[in-house]
Structures are given as structure tokens and as C-alpha cells.
Amino acid sequence: MLNYFMRRLGYGVLVLIGVNLFTFVLFFTVNTPDDMARLNIGGKRVTQDQIEKWKAERGYDKPIYWNGKEQGTAQLTHTVVWQRSVSLFALNFGRSDARNAVDIGHEIKTRMWVSLQLAVPLFLLQVLASTAFALLLVFFRHSRIDFWGVVLCVVMLSISSLFYIIVGQLFFSRILHLVPISGYAGGLDAVKFLILPIMLSLLARLGSEARLYRAMFLEEIGKDYVRTARAKGLAESVVLFRHVLKNALIPIITSAGSYLPYVFLGSLVFESFFGIPGLGAFVIEAITGQDFAIVRSMVFLGAVLYIASYLLIDVAYTWADPRVRLS
């Protein structure tokens, strides 16, 4: 197992270097350092001297791509491949490119806890609700409950999450005045700001997840070990929870594990619409403001979380199914 983890970590390092390079190339294909300087400096009249000073302070004054004629090293190879990649691997994210030049590491640590308050309850409720709903449909399979449950799943997954947000804010905030329409407060007051986005995000994902889990459970229902369990006289509920659910854990672990990075990075859409100052809103602000330092850091952090989550998924496979061996 140790050799397996070392090999996967080696692949992970190569993936992170590739992600860092691809982020740089993609970002500067769309933007130029001059555009970034004008947007971050602000004002209608920005002189070229101000632009050059901004670029020099942030290391964007070197040529982006080496063409064989420029003196010195190109920004792509010198700044990204060596200096900034090493800093990112050391989790030293530096400062943002914006005028206030905030400490990115401090912002991540501060906003991470806000995102976790939204994402952890959502993650747990999503797994429990999707699994329970899917088991209910399988228990009443080939009945009206199953039919209308599948119809409901299809309707729910066909509706955009923006629709849930708009209707939820209108009904629960504007009409019933049960929760604030947006914003955030610390401590126990956070509950009243987070309960609506958690419930709406759960509804937005419940249809697709429950339909997927139902299909997996139905596949297990027709196998020999299930017929053997029924032949022993076990109740249908016992067969579903003790046998079918246990043997369908691997696909559930895969689906749930792939969602883990979002638990830390937050929900981009819901944090933005509900004014929650988490990591998702942080990324949206950085993209809007063409802040490459923040975008690069968050993409790198997301890639690290994805690699870590899939390592955890592999370990969870061995727990769910003893026949699985990591080699």
C-alpha cells in the first residue's frame, strides 16, 4: 500500500505542475498584464507609467513567453514554473494582484470556515437524503410511489439551481419573511443565513443523486445473494439495508467523495447569490477582477483537494469491500 501511495503522490505532483502551467497559459491567453493593471488600478485615465509600475511590483513586467530574443528569462518559465510553483507547493500563496494586495493565505483560512459551515451540513444531508429517498423508491419499486418518485427526480434535476434560488428567496424571504434574503453573520446567527441556501442546494442536487443511487440499488436487487437472503426468510427492509446498501457502497463512495473538494472550496453560485463570504465568493471576485494570483492559488488548492479526495476514495474502497486491494 505504501508503494501505491508514493506512486499516486508522484503522479499528483506532475498533475499539479501541469494544472499550474495550464492555468497560466489559459488566463493570459484571455487577459494581458496591461489589462489586469488597468482594471486593478481603476480610474478613467491610467498612464503607461502607472501600468508599468504595477506590473513591476507584481512580477508581470517580464515577457510572458520566451521567444529566443528577449534578454533574461521569460515570465512563464521563471516566475510560474520555478518561483511561484515552489511557493504554492509550500502553501505560500503570497498576496493578491488587487490594489489592496490582501494576503491570500489569510483570506483562505478565514473564508474556509464560512464555506465549511455551508458545505458540511449540505454534504451530510445530501448523502443521507439521496440514499434514503433512493431506498424508499426501491422498496416500493414497480408501484405508484416509485413511478411518481422517478418523475419527481427527473423534474428536480431538469430545473436550474438559479430557479431554486430565485423562487426560494422570493417565497421564504420576501413573502413569508422567515429568513434573510442574503448576508452572513458569525456565531449562532449564521444559522438563519445558511439554512435557506443549504435547503435549496440540497433540492438542486437531490434529483440527480437519488436517481443515480436508485439505479445502483436496482442493479444489486437482481443478484444471486439477494435472492439467497430472501430465500432465508429475511424481510425486504433487512435485505435492502443489510445487503443491498452495503454492496452498493462503492458507487456511493465514489459519488460522495468526488464532492469533497466542494466542501472546502464552497459553492460558487450559492455563495455569490446569498452574499456568503466564503471561498466560492472569493473565486468569483477574483475572476471578475482578473486577479491571477488568487485564481492560480484557488485552482491549485482545488487540484490538491481533488487528488487527496480520490486517495481517500481508494482507501474507503478497501473498507467497503475487503476484496479490493491497493497495489
Among 89, 123, 141, the domain-final residue is 89
**Same structural domain, 82 and 112:** no
Tens digit of each residue's pLDDT, the chain (327 residues): 677 778 888 888 888 888 888 888 788 777 777 878 887 777 667 788 888 888 787 777 776 655 544 444 455 555 555 566 677 887 888 888 776 778 888 888 888 888 888 888 888 898 899 989 998 998 898 899 999 999 999 999 888 888 888 999 999 988 988 888 888 888 888 888 999 999 998 888 888 889 988 988 888 887 888 888 888 888 888 888 878 887 778 778 877 777 777 776 767 788 888 888 888 888 888 888 788 888 888 888 888 888 888 888 877 777 766 666 666
326 found inside a domain: no
Domain extent at residue 167: 104-320
Calpha distance 148→139 (Å, rounded): 14
**Number of domains present in the structure of the chain:** 2
**Same structural domain, 85 and 134:** no
95 found inside a domain: no
325 found inside a domain: no
**Same structural domain, 181 and 42:** no
**Same structural domain, 7 and 63:** yes
CB 210 within 8 A of CB 137: yes
142 found inside a domain: yes
- What 3-state DSSP class applies to 183? coil
**pTM score of the predicted model:** 0.79
pLDDT at 149: 93
**What is the DSSP code (8-state) at residue 274?**
T
**Same structural domain, 171 and 34:** no
pLDDT at 64: 64
CB 285 within 8 A of CB 111: no
Residue with cell 422517478: 150
217 found inside a domain: yes
**Same structural domain, 291 and 189:** yes
Task: Retrieve residue 172's grid coordinates.
Answer: 421564504
**Same structural domain, 144 and 269:** yes
Calpha distance 198→194 (Å, rounded): 6
Among 26, 61, 89, the domain-final residue is 89
139 found inside a domain: yes
**Same structural domain, 133 and 239:** yes
CB 51 within 8 A of CB 34: yes
pLDDT at 79: 58
171 found inside a domain: yes
Q: Which residue, 262, 296, 305, is CA-closest to 104? A: 296
Q: What CATH code is carried by the domain that includes residue 259?
A: 1.10.3720.10
Calpha distance 297→285 (Å, rounded): 14
**Same structural domain, 243 and 177:** yes
**Same structural domain, 208 and 141:** yes
Rounded to whole angstroms, the maximal C-alpha distance in the chain is 84
In sequence order, the 6+-apart residues with CB closer than 8 A to the CB of 268 are 280, 281, 283, 284
CB 168 within 8 A of CB 196: yes
Among 89, 113, 137, the domain-final residue is 89
CB 266 within 8 A of CB 273: no
**Same structural domain, 80 and 142:** no
Alpha-carbon torsion (316, 317, 318, 322), positive or negative: positive
96 found inside a domain: no
CB 7 within 8 A of CB 14: no
Calpha distance 116→114 (Å, rounded): 5
**Same structural domain, 149 and 55:** no
Name the β-bridge partners of 103.
Answer: 95
